[in-house]
């Protein structure tokens, strides 16, 4: 380590005095102007992690669904996963170190993690379309080079595309080619082969309106479009040519406001979807003949996917174990439907895709989705081999199902939740099953629900257990929530500190929208009173 050079370059990316940031569930995220030093330091850290794992490490510059003025950075581990927990701590330490302590912190990390500093390092970098992203990704590169790491800058990429690149590079090309064409070709080939088998291929199944949140998804989908146009034609909205990123549009807006995005004209019963700002989330929706808006969120996506996979397995005659992983935000109706009607085991983990991803790896086939539309399906290597064999050996009908499954395995991004890949999977399933968006929606009816935020002095006073469904501290809060929940039918509520914003999140569901709204408001008041609320008391209404 050339400590002199590190000190010199670090001073060019100086940390603002007193600024403390935490590596949260999605890396570092805050106003873009506070992130230059963090980017440089994450470049340094990525080199150390690469040396330690003897693998390619990814660095993604994005703040996903957050406002355009924000930015963020996260590291991607060798198999496309989120950074290992002990390294999240190192990231926080390094990002918060004062200039004069930088050398010591770097040496500490290297010693603790037994990093061989002689080892080569390789880092791949991607960024979203935020105006601040280009300069910030240059700061990452400065960090990588000053520690002697090699790098490849992919420039503009969706977050899941960067995960894909990392995964490809660390699996010797077996998973796919680590280029943007490689990604387009792998997914499109699987999609086109799959949809060729669909008997219903009328116009209704061939066109889809996509709200791209004015983000990177628009650019990438436009590039990719002609690769799969045989099977699907997409019409892009909020493509970044005029509107602001994530403003009044995108998956997060649609899910949290439960209304359509601006900038998209929707006719009744037309199938529409929204990506978020870095294209790792997707939700579907439509207007019925009476003009009512219907949201089809991550839970219903997981239901469609897992039921289709289960059907294929039955057809092939394989008894592989399939599990669905959700968080506390999953709608109660979805959990009930999956368990009772579909007889698929459902597991609940803490919020944050790394928890879901980890749990899903325990199954032959693990389908995981957050209600907000972030998710994918994971297939164990043993399953992949078995399916490939079946596709060769079985007789006609079974072989067809095995072939489909083979294509679906290729179509899912195994490295991360991916809006583009999920969209193609969903479109293929709808076409193969001849399902309209209304029929899909009618699988079950969501319980009305409401999510709110409460400002408190220190959100860490709230701690939770049981996959965040119960509050342990502050004293009395869970009892208060229990008493409130009892007042409503089919009701459930929980609170947890956000991992990405300085707020406490409140979630409530009940038998009617009015009840869900009331319950959420009452729980907000309890949080405000018992957990040190600041500013104005929560007001009813939204």
Residues belonging to the active site: 64
What is the CB neighbour count within 10 angstroms for residue 294?
Answer: 18
Q: Is 188 annotated as a binding residue?
A: no
Backbone angles phi, psi at 516, to 5 degrees: -60, -40
Q: Is 181 annotated as a binding residue?
A: no
Residues in 47-86 at the binding interface with Zn ion, rule: CB under 5 A: 64
Say whether residue 422 binds Zn ion (CB under 5 A). no
Say whether residue 370 binds ligand NG1 (CB under 6 A). yes
Name the residue with tokens 């050339």: 2
Say whether residue 161 binds Zn ion (CB under 5 A). no
Q: Is 133 annotated as a binding residue?
A: no
278 binds, among Zn ion, ligand NG1, none (CB under 5 to 8 A by kind): Zn ion
What distance in Å separates the CA atoms of residue 400 and residue 394, rounded to the nearest whole number? 9
Note whether 78 and 176 are within 8 A (CB): no
Ramachandran class of 528: left when φ > 0, alpha when ψ lies in -120 to 50, beta otherwise: alpha
- Helix or strand holding residue 472 (H, E): strand 470-473
Note whether 239 and 222 are within 8 A (CB): yes
Residues in 296-355 at the binding interface with ligand NG1, rule: CB under 6 A: 329, 351-352
What is the CB neighbour count within 10 angstroms for residue 24?
Answer: 17
- The closest alpha carbon to 353, from 410, 412, 415, belongs to 415
The long-range contacts involving 14-22, CB below 8 angstroms and separated by at least 24 positions, are 14/99, 15/95, 15/96, 15/97, 15/98, 15/99, 19/96, 20/96, 21/92, 21/95, 21/96, 22/92
Say whether residue 374 binds ligand NG1 (CB under 6 A). yes
Of 215 and 323, the one with the shorter C-beta distance to Zn ion is 215
Q: Is 496 annotated as a binding residue?
A: yes
Of 243 and 352, the one with the shorter C-beta distance to ligand NG1 is 352
Say whether residue 280 binds Zn ion (CB under 5 A). yes
Q: Which stretch binds ligand NG1 (CB under 6 A): 239-247, 290-298, 317-325, 500-508?
A: 500-508
Q: How far is the CB of 50 from ligand NG1 (least distance, A)?
A: 24
232-271 footprint of ligand NG1 as x/- string (CB under 6 A): ----------------------------------------
Q: How far is the CB of 189 from ligand NG1 (least distance, A)?
A: 30
Q: Is 502 annotated as a binding residue?
A: no
Say whether residue 81 binds ligand NG1 (CB under 6 A). no
Q: How far is the CB of 28 from Zn ion (least distance, A)?
A: 15
CA 360 to chain centre: 14
Note whether 494 and 471 are within 8 A (CB): yes
Q: Is 497 annotated as a binding residue?
A: yes
Q: Which of 6, 26, 190, 462 binds ligand NG1 (CB under 6 A)?
A: 26
Say whether residue 276 binds Zn ion (CB under 5 A). yes
Beta carbons within 8 Å of 416's beta carbon, 6+ residues apart: 80, 159, 160, 163, 164, 280, 353, 357, 376
Residues in 181-220 at the binding interface with Zn ion, rule: CB under 5 A: none
Q: Is 372 annotated as a binding residue?
A: yes
Residues annotated within the binding site for Mg(2+) are 64, 276, 278, 280
Task: Name the site residues for Zn ion (rule: CB under 5 A).
Answer: 64, 276, 278, 280
Task: Name the site residues for ligand NG1 (rule: CB under 6 A).
Answer: 25-26, 64, 329, 351-352, 370, 372, 374, 498-501, 505
């Amino acid at each position: 380590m050339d400590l002199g050079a590190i000190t010199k370059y670090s001073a060019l990316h100086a940390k603002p005095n007193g600024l403390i940031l935490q590596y949260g569930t999605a890396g570092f995220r805050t106003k873009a102007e506070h992130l230059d030093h963090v980017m440089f330091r994450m470049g340094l850290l990525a080199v150390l992690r690469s040396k330690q794992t003897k693998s390619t490490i990814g660095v993604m510059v994005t703040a996903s669904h957050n406002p355009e003025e924000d930015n963020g950075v996260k590291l991607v581990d060798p198999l496309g996963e989120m950074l290992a927990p002990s390294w999240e701590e190192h990231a926080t330490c390094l990002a918060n170190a004062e200039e004069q302590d930088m050398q010591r912190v770097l040496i500490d990390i290297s010693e603790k993690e037994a990093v061989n500093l002689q080892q080569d390092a390789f880092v791949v970098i991607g960024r979203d379309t935020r105006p601040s992203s280009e300069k910030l990704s240059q700061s990452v590169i400065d960090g990588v080079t000053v520690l002697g790491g090699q790098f490849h800058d992919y420039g503009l990429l969706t977050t899941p595309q960067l995960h894909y690149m990392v995964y490809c590079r660390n699996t010797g090309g077996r998973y796919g080619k680590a280029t943007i064409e490689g990604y387009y070709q792998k997914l499109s080939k699987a999609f086109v082969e799959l949809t060729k088998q669909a008997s219903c291929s009328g116009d209704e199944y061939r066109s889809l309106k996509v709200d791209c949140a004015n983000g990177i998804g628009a650019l990438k989908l436009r590039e990719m479009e002609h690769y799969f146009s045989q099977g699907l034609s997409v019409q892009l909205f909020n493509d970044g040519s005029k509107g602001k990123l994530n403003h009044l549009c995108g998956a997060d807006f649609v899910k949290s406001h439960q209304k359509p995005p601006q900038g998209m004209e929707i006719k009744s019963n037309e199938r529409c979807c929204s990506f978020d700002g870095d294209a790792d989330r997707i939700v579907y929706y439509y207007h019925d003949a009476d003009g009512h808006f219907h949201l089809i969120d991550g839970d219903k996506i997981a239901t469609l996917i897992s039921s289709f996979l289960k059907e294929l397995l039955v057809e092939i005659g394989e008894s592989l174990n399939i599990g669905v992983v959700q968080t506390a935000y999953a709608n109660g109706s979805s959990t009930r439907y999956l368990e009772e009607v579909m007889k698929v085991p459902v597991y609940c983990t803490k919020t944050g895709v790394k928890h879901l991803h980890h749990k899903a790896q325990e199954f032959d086939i693990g389908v995981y989705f957050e209600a907000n539309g972030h998710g994918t399906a994971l297939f164990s290597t043993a399953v992949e081999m078995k399916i490939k064999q079946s596709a060769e050996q079985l007789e006609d009908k079974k072989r067809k199902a095995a072939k489909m499954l083979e294509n679906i395995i290729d179509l899912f991004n195994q490295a991360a939740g991916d809006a583009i890949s999920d969209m193609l999977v969903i479109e293929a399933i709808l076409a193969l099953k001849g399902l309209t968006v209304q029929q899909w929606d009618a699988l079950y009816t969501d319980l009305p629900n409401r999510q709110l935020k409460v400002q408190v002095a220190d959100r860490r006073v709230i701690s939770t257990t049981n996959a965040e469904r119960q509050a342990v501290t502050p004293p009395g809060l869970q009892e208060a929530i229990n008493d409130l929940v009892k007042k409503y039918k089919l009701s459930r509520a929980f609170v947890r500190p956000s991992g990405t914003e300085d707020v406490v999140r409140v979630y409530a569901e009940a038998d009617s929208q009015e009840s869900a709204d009331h319950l959420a408001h009452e729980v907000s008041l309890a949080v405000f009173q018992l957990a040190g609320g600041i500013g104005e008391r929560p007001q009813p209404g939204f």
